[in-house]
Structure 1
């Protein structure tokens, strides 16, 4: 017997509630990005415009790092594209859950997709499947994704507005906040050591790329 399904509204609210811990990890990085944008001369309008249209934290940091006068438009586009290619794999993993939806619902789900909302949505799908429910809850996923989107855009704008008053936000010691959040998200997707092999391969490849490509060329600290 299939358990009764919650209403879309309750699922959306559940997504908003479960993403709150992620917001605490996101807060310092959003402020740091806003501060860095202010240091590069970006206005309170330009920063939320960028973070709202290109909702992908890593590439936003790269774009701000390259921001200058004259503006290297092609370089920023190229670097942003390379960093955002991970969304192709994330979208492919999410596609089986969205293929039955009309385009007007599937495309917003993909636009608002981030690492955190994707991880929460996939982890929730595993739990729902174990409970005998339909594997994916779009209202839950959109509750997480839209909450992250709105807060990220607002907080980066806030960082730009009050950047000079905040000083060096990186010195506050928040550097481990986001990695800690990702560890919690990965724990929710843990299915055993055999299934974790791709994670290990990805970790080794990322470390090798950092040490052999990015650091020697001065693209990383």
Structure 2
């Protein structure tokens, strides 16, 4: 992280700027929210339950994963473990911006993290690296994403009951395509094929031989361990280059 910024501040003007900058990207979130609303109804949740989940959880991938586990009897421990595995990246994301947010009063600091997601975090990190002191991008961008996620969920709840077969419109694969786009859209490096391959093979094996829904955790752990093995060699190559 850049050390050119003397600290951090948060004000209304910065928040509004963050909302405005995130607005174009937020429009695409409506589609994912709609897909979640439709999927939630198909899994037996009421419209109110779907809206409450989007409002309080605000974690698209985890919410879709929770729907896969939803049923008359909810497996609580697998649900907790799966959610933690998917959202564990937030531990690193929070640590990355801690030196910046440490300058804020505690109430502002922790309130800012409530609306942190991948997109507004990435933009906020870029701002900080340029020496920006206002944390408005993180907060305002998060608010914009949260509101459009709720709007999309509402649309799915209102019109989802009229979509008898969501898979006909591809709504059942939207989140998978989104996550795949994030994966292949990152840095091009052949060494990344090792953790990707390890995660994929471990997940497929878990689907075949382990209890249901364990493939997410197994795949994440296998990919993470493979990444740890690859990381030292990658750093050495970057240092030589």
Range class of TM-score, shorter chain: 0.7 to 0.9
Give CA-to-partner distance per residue, 1:46-69, whole Å, 9 cap, x none: 112222222221111100111111
CA distance in 2, matches of 1:37, 1:59: 13
Specify which of 32, 43, 50 is matched with residue 53 of structure 2.
Answer: 50
Contact 2:29/2:152, CA 8 A, preserved across alignment: no
Give CA-to-partner distance per residue, 1:67-116, whole Å, 9 cap, x none: 11112222211111111111000000111111122221111111211111
Specify which of 79, 82, 86 is matched with residue 79 of structure 1.
Answer: 82
Shift of the alpha carbon at 1:213?
A: 1.6
The gaps in structure 2 that reach 5 residues or longer are 208-214, 217-241
Give the 5 Å matches for 1:162-181.
162-169=159-166, 171-172=168-169, 175=174, 178=178
CA distance in 2, matches of 1:50, 1:137: 30
* Residue 69 of structure 1: aligned partner: 72
Contact 1:34/1:157, CA 8 A, preserved across alignment: yes
CA distance in 1, matches of 2:150, 2:192: 29
* Residue 97 of structure 1: aligned partner: 100
Count of aligned residue pairs for this structure pair:
198
* Residue 141 of structure 2: aligned partner: 144
Q: Tell which has more relative contact order, 1 or 2 (C-alpha 8 A, sep 6+).
A: 1
The gaps in structure 1 that reach 5 residues or longer are 130-134, 187-195
* Residue 208 of structure 1: aligned partner: 197
CA distance in 2, matches of 1:99, 1:112: 17
Give the structure-1-normalised TM-score.
0.75
Give the 5 Å matches for 1:192-203.
200=189, 203=192
* Residue 116 of structure 2: aligned partner: 113
- Structure 2 residue 154 is the aligned partner of structure 1 residue 157: yes
Greater Cα radius of gyration, structure 1 or 2: 2
Contact 1:30/1:156, CA 8 A, preserved across alignment: yes
CA distance in 2, matches of 1:167, 1:136: 49
Give the 5 Å matches for 1:177-196.
178=178
CA distance in 2, matches of 1:117, 1:201: 28
Give the structure-2-normalised TM-score.
0.70
Contact 1:40/1:64, CA 8 A, preserved across alignment: yes
- The 1:145/1:65 distance shift into structure 2, 3 A limit, reads same
Shift of the alpha carbon at 1:203?
A: 4.2
Helix, strand or coil at the partner of 2:206: coil
- The 1:211/1:178 distance shift into structure 2, 3 A limit, reads closer
Q: Which moved more, 1:114-123 or 1:204-213?
A: 204-213
Shift of the alpha carbon at 1:214?
A: 1.7
* Residue 8 of structure 1: aligned partner: 11
